[in-house]
Amino acid sequence: METIKTRFAPSPTGSLHVGGARTALFCYALAKKLGGQFLLRIEDTDRARHQEEAVEKIVEDLRWLGIDWDEGVIVGGDFGPYRQSERLEIYQQHIHGLLESGKAYYAFDTPDELDAMRQEAQARKEDFHYPRPKKLPCLADAKAARSAGKPVVVRLACPAGDVTFRDEVFGDVTIPADQIDDFIIQKADGWPTYHLANVVDDALMGVNFICRGQEFLGQTWRHVLLRDALEYPEPQYAHLPLIMDMDGRKLSKRDGDVEVDTFRQHGYLPEALLNFIALLGWNPKGDREKFTLEEMTELFDVAGVGKSNAKFDRDKLLAFNVDAIADAAPKRLLECFTDFLSFHDTPLAGLDDKTLQSILRSCQGFRTFMDILHKVDVLFAADDSYQFDPKAVKKVMLKNDGAGYAMLADILPLLAEAEWTAEALEAWMGEYCQTNEIGMGKVAQPIRIAVTGTTISPPIFDTLVFLGKEKTLARIQRCLSQRNAG
Ligand code: GLU
């Protein structure tokens, strides 16, 4: 039996979208499960929409997720080049062959002429089909048209009849003959269309299992006809269901992050995102939802991919992230945290590993690294630079005639004398609370607001030790004077 070869073939028009990451992951898992190969090809024939940085970004995002490819850009292989922009000659040879055999033909209609034809078809209440001329234009006709300033394209002469192909997810798909049209395979600028380049490359690179998003399902008949015309063998197809937001709309930036790099910058662990993405349309047997990439690959089966739209449940992703954080070894967590910090302009980025590790330990309960940044950044800020959260001030400081402020004023001289370790401060506060018959929260919360501006911070004694006595006292003093000023 032939070994399986899959590919991810992104067009570099921007960052890697979670939908693209899912395609890459499923293609990877399909190939690895069956001992096959997975390749990465860059489809950059659309020169107008091409972004060079996007290629690097896609490569980086895939690597961050832990998805490696056996063949393709960067790593090379026997069937390169793996960027379509470097394969123009190959496409032109194929187009030439199709023209020679009469399976394709030149056409040179201007956009206005095409519009007029479309409108006529509409007036007749018919679908527009490009009218293939009885006598196909020859090369001399094409040259003359080009000299006359007309756009010269090449169209595939599609055979009459329905097109049927098998999809591993959607079953047998039939496109009726009346929806089939002589489509363009070479544009007026001499570049192939996506359809031609895609089909030629899959065939030449030995890709025999095409797995991609459902948005390409409606295009596949073109690829089937092109393969037939080029006499290349037909691959297997699997189209992956659409990914929707929780309201059933197409997933978009409007409701949050949709690109892999934004999840990275917002403090998610790659293993959590990968695990979450794996479940977008794939249903492993049983109740198990948590797995590593290796485990997912082991379990993966295209029969487990459903047709129904997948839901992008952000709460679930957050919960996955919380679990992944809890499961991560300290070294791994530190590695991810350091990577996260490299995207942010924060003093934390300059700290040594030991300090970062102690911050990670003391910030237990964080959901993403962003939570830590919010909590901890204030500790590094200048003592007079942060704001006091008005809601927290109202609730904790101003209630009962400003009991919070009164307490701060009371402890200020005592703290000035206190021994400055977490244990000693804890013991001191316990004693103070006992003497004054109040709960720890009544003391800890006002201090927290005074030194961080909010009621959320790492454990209070760690926070105070981290700040040091001098800064703690200065911050409490500032909090008191703000009240007096207000
Ligand atoms: N280059 C196409 C895209 O990313 C992918 C086509 C395919 O997978 O066949 O939009």
Model pLDDT for residues 410-457, shown as the tens digit of each residue: 999 999 999 999 899 999 999 999 999 999 989 999 999 999 998 877
Whether 136 is in a domain gets the answer: yes
Question: How many beta carbons lie within 10 A of that of residue 113, not counting itself?
Answer: 12
Q: Do 369 and 405 have their domain in common?
A: no
Q: Do 357 and 474 have their domain in common?
A: no
- Laid out side by side, the sheet with 236-240 consists of 171-175, 163-167, 236-240, 209-213
**Cβ atoms 94, 103 nearer than 8 A:** no
Q: What percent of the chain has pLDDT over 90?
A: 82
**Cβ atoms 326, 318 nearer than 8 A:** no
For 215, the token pair is 């948005």
Query: 99: CA distance to ligand 1 center in Å?
Result: 25
Q: Do 416 and 479 have their domain in common?
A: yes
Question: How many beta carbons lie within 10 A of that of residue 7, not counting itself?
Answer: 28
Q: Residue 212: helix, strand or coil by DSSP?
A: strand
Q: Do 55 and 128 have their domain in common?
A: no
Query: 10: CA distance to ligand 1 center in Å?
Result: 5
Q: Do 97 and 127 have their domain in common?
A: yes
pLDDT value of position 145: 96
Name the DSSP class of 289. -
Domain holding 144, by residue range, is: 87-240
Task: Check which CATH number belongs to the domain holding 137 and give it.
Answer: 3.40.50.620
Span 272-294, average pLDDT: 94
Q: Do 176 and 47 have their domain in common?
A: no
Q: Do 73 and 141 have their domain in common?
A: no
Question: Which ligand 1 atom is nearest residue 198's CA?
Answer: 9
Where among 353, 380, 407 does a domain terminate? 380
Question: Which ligand 1 atom is nearest residue 8's CA?
Answer: 8
pLDDT value of position 375: 80
Whether 473 is in a domain gets the answer: yes
Whether 321 is in a domain gets the answer: no
Helix axes 194-204, 88-100, angle to 10 degrees: 100
Number of domains present in the structure of the chain? 4
Q: Do 259 and 344 have their domain in common?
A: no
Question: How many beta carbons lie within 10 A of that of residue 248, not counting itself?
Answer: 8
User: Of all protein residues, whose CA lies closest to atom 6 belonging to ligand 1?
Assistant: 9
| Pocket perturbation via mutation, ligand 1, pick of 44, 85, 194 by most ligand atoms within 8 A of CB | 194
Model confidence band, residue 377 (pLDDT cutoffs 50, 70, 90):
confident
Query: 195: CA distance to ligand 1 center in Å?
Result: 9
* Mean pLDDT computed over every residue of the chain: 93
Sign of torsion over alpha carbons 263, 267, 271, 276: negative
13-40 per-position pLDDT tens digit? 889 999 999 999 999 999 999 999 999 9
Model confidence band, residue 176 (pLDDT cutoffs 50, 70, 90):
very high
Task: Check which CATH number belongs to the domain holding 468 and give it.
Answer: 1.10.10.350
Examine the residue annotation and report whether 307 is marked as an active-site residue of this protein.
no
111-143 per-position pLDDT tens digit? 999 999 999 999 999 888 999 999 999 999 999
pLDDT value of position 48: 75
Alpha helices of 286-439 — where are they, by DSSP H?
293-299, 314-327, 330-341, 353-362, 369-380, 390-392, 399-417, 422-436
Distance between CA 411 and CA 126 in Å, rounded? 85
Where among 311, 346, 362 does a domain terminate? 311
Span 193-220, average pLDDT: 97
* Surface-to-core class of residue 31, CB atoms within 10 Å of its CB (0-12 exposed, 13-18 middle, 19+ buried): buried
Residues contacting ligand 1 via CB (< 6 Å): 9-11, 43, 198, 212, 216
Whether 433 is in a domain gets the answer: yes
**Which residues pair with residue 311 across a beta bridge?**
244
Model confidence band, residue 301 (pLDDT cutoffs 50, 70, 90):
very high
Whether 322 is in a domain gets the answer: no
Question: Which ligand 1 atom is nearest residue 223's CA?
Answer: 9
Whether 292 is in a domain gets the answer: yes
Q: Do 211 and 104 have their domain in common?
A: yes
Where among 177, 207, 240 does a domain terminate? 240
Question: How many beta carbons lie within 10 A of that of residue 122, not counting itself?
Answer: 11
Whether residue 360 has pLDDT greater than 90: no
Question: Which ligand 1 atom is nearest residue 202's CA?
Answer: 9
Question: How many beta carbons lie within 10 A of that of residue 457, not counting itself?
Answer: 24
Whether residue 235 has pLDDT greater than 90: yes
Query: 149: CA distance to ligand 1 center in Å?
Result: 32
Query: 223: CA distance to ligand 1 center in Å?
Result: 12
Identity at 384, one-letter amino acid code: D
Whether 316 is in a domain gets the answer: no
Whether residue 486 has pLDDT greater than 60: no
pLDDT value of position 358: 81
Q: Do 298 and 186 have their domain in common?
A: no
Query: 381: CA distance to ligand 1 center in Å?
Result: 46
Whether 142 is in a domain gets the answer: yes
Point out the catalytic residue in the list 253, 391, 394, 399: 253
**β-strand 153-156 against 184-186: which pairing, if any?**
antiparallel
Q: Do 137 and 231 have their domain in common?
A: yes
| Pocket perturbation via mutation, ligand 1, pick of 216, 224, 226, 237 by most ligand atoms within 8 A of CB | 216
Distance between CA 110 and CA 31 in Å, rounded? 44
| Pocket perturbation via mutation, ligand 1, pick of 5, 7, 11, 214 by most ligand atoms within 8 A of CB | 11
Distance between CA 26 and CA 278 in Å, rounded? 7
Span 164-189, average pLDDT: 96
Q: Do 234 and 247 have their domain in common?
A: no
**β-strand 171-175 against 163-167: which pairing, if any?**
antiparallel
